[in-house]
Amino acid sequence: MNFGEHITIDGYGGNEKLLNNKKLILSCLNNLPTILGMKKISKPEVYFVKGNNKKDPGGWSGFVVIEESHISIHTFPRRRFISADVYSCKNDMNLALIKRYFKQKFELKELETNFIKRGTRYPVKNF
C-alpha cells in the first residue's frame, strides 16, 4: 500500500492567451478537484509573478488545497509552457483524464508527465 499518487505535467506549445488568462487558471483550480472526486478545503488562489530576466519571463502561479493534498499550476505564457501537478492521497487517479484536461484547456501541443507513487512504506497503523 502506498500513501498516494502524484502526477507532474509539463506542457509545451500552449496557447499564449490561455496561459495568460487568470480566470481560466482559477476556473481549472476550482473545477478539477470536483471532476476528480476530491474536496476543496480552500478557495483557489492565483497570483501574477513577474519575470526575473533570466529563464523566467513571468506568468501565473496558482494552487488549491484539497482534503487529499493539492493541485498547482504555473504558467509561462511567453514560453508557451505550463507546469502543473496533482497530488492526492487517493489511489487510482484517472491519469488520462488529467492529461486530457490540461491539454485541452491550454491547447498544449505536447505533454511531458511523471507519475510518482508517494509513501510506498507508509505505516499501516499509528505508533
Catalytic residue among 6, 28, 70, 74: 74
The span from the CA of 51 to the CA of 54, in Å, is: 8
Catalytic residue among 27, 72, 83, 89: 89
Known catalytic residue at 88: no
Catalytic residue flag (residue 72)? no
- b/e sequence 2-25, b meaning 16+ C-beta within 10 Å: ebbbbbebbbeebbeebbbbeebb
Cell of 104: 485541452
Angle, CA 13 vertex, CA 8 and CA 19 arms, to 5°: 75
Could you say which of 28, 69, 70, 88 is catalytic?
69
Is residue 28 annotated as part of the catalytic site, yes or no?
Answer: no
The C-alpha cell at 42 is: 480552500
Looking at the annotation, which residues are catalytic?
69, 74, 89
